[in-house]
Amino acid sequence: MGAGRFAPSPSGPLHLGNLRTAILAWLFARSTDRDFLLRIEDLDRVRSGAETTQINELASLGLDFDGEMLRQSDRLPVYLEAVERLKDRGLVYECFCSRKDIAEAGSAPHAAPGAYPGTCRELSPSEREAKAKNRPAALRLRSQVNEFSVHDELFGDYTGAVDDFVLIRNDGAPAYNLAVVVDDAFSGIDQVVRGDDLLSSAPRQAYLATLLDYEVPVYAHVPLALNSKGQRLAKRDGAVTLEEITEQGLLPANVVTILLESLGLPSTSLQAALQAFDPAALPREPWIVDPENIVQQLMPPASRNR
């Protein structure tokens, strides 16, 4: 039947938003009889010990995974091979632009705001040689479309911009949009559940999948957990990681209760939530997190307001 996945970056402990998305990915996979896989996306921002911490945190919530864990840093040759396949079809070119160059150049008239303007798309060999003396080249996809459409289980049909996005960064590291597409295909992942901040990436990734003759997965982009100002959760927001919450006397099971309640699901256990799970009934709005109220609400009465 295929597989779903959860793919954290080992940059630190998982916060409530990450854990909520992990539970949703597990529910989507298990409710459709898919395997559920874990992938560590460690091509960037790696903190020592974070991978082990995250794996232990997911286990403490009761989330189980199938198969072997995939680690992106072990797969660099695979990403380069995929780029070579695209090169053979003339779909890759060198780009010497910095972020500042791109911001100052603006977008091409037909492109969406923020899209790469194609500055290096048609450089001559001599121009490439001259630019290479000053800056290493990134590799970009020579896209043949300006937009691409995907279907999302929560958002419905979605059409987004596709520009000449980066495949290999100028430091030689595979870019996110390349790595996730190659990894999902390799692992047989045909269901991608992740935060809705990544919805705009789906058309690029789906288009790249078609170029590499991969199956385009089913997408479900789920609402994020935000702070009271409508921003993504961060350390400044108080006790928002599992580690911080359990340090205040709560158990991982209490955190599962919090997360399932935020989704309108039975909060007694993951299995009870799975039996009642219906994607159509999921909240469509962000979950606004107030860490103090959450902790106080689930504290044993004798421990409150000390």
SS (H, E, C) 243-261: HHHHHCCCCHHHHHHHHHH
What pLDDT shows up at residue 113?
59
Instruction: Report the interhelical angle of 252-262 vs 291-298 (nearest 10°).
Output: 120
**122-138 b/e with 16+ CB inside 10 Å = b?**
ebeeeeeeebeeeeebb
Q: Is 41 marked as binding a ligand?
A: yes
Known binding residue 5? Answer is yes
Q: Does residue 252 register a pLDDT over 70?
A: yes
User: Apex CA 99: angle with CA 211 and CA 127, to 5°?
Assistant: 75
d(C-alpha 110, C-alpha 159), whole Å: 15
Supply 125's token pair: 């060999």
Residue 79, exposed/middle/buried by CB under 10 A (0-12, 13-18, 19+)?
buried
The CATH architecture that domain 3-70+223-303 belongs to is 3-Layer(aba) Sandwich (3.40)
Consult the annotation and say whether 261 binds a ligand: no
Could you tell me which residue, 130 or 100, shows the higher pLDDT? 130
Q: Is 235 annotated as a binding residue?
A: yes
- The reply to whether 176 sits in an annotated binding site is yes
Window from 138-142, 200-204, 223-227 with minimum mean pLDDT: 223-227
Summary mean pLDDT of the chain: 91
pLDDT of residue 264: 96
76-187+201-212 has the same fold as 3-70+223-303: yes
The pair of structure tokens assigned to 289 is: 């997190």
Q: Is 8 annotated as a binding residue?
A: yes
The residue count for the chain: 306
Over the range 206-242, which residues count as b (16 or more CB within 10 Å of their CB) and which as e? bbbbebeebebbbbbbbbbbbbeeeeebeeebbbbbb
6: annotated binding-site residue?
A: yes
Tokens of 196: 């809705």
CA distances 183 to 64, 212, 304, Å, are 20, 12, 46
Domain boundaries, the chain: 3-70+223-303, 76-187+201-212
Cβ-based neighbours of 103, under 8 Å, separated by 6 or more: none
Residue 223 DSSP code: P
Q: Is 95 annotated as a binding residue?
A: yes
- The answer to whether residue 1 scores a pLDDT higher than 90 is no
Q: Would you say 7 is a known binding-site residue?
A: yes
CATH for 76-187+201-212, among 3.40.50.1260, 3.40.50.12780, 3.40.50.620, 3.40.50.720? 3.40.50.620
DSSP states of 55-91 as a string? HHHHHHTT----SPPEEGGG-HHHHHHHHHHHHTTT-
Mean pLDDT, residues 265-274 taken together: 97
Using pLDDT thresholds of 50, 70 and 90, give the confidence band for residue 177.
Answer: very high
The predicted pLDDT at position 2 comes to 94
* 105: pLDDT strictly greater than 90: no
Interatomic CA distance for residues 209 and 162, integer angstroms: 13
Return the pLDDT at 231. Answer: 87
Compute the average pLDDT of residues 173-193: 97
Kindly report which listed range (26-30, 81-85, 114-118, 294-298) carries the lowest average pLDDT score. 294-298
Residues 6+ apart with CB under 8 A from 231: none
- Using pLDDT thresholds of 50, 70 and 90, give the confidence band for residue 238: confident
Q: Consult the annotation and say whether 229 binds a ligand.
A: no
84 is in an annotated binding site: no
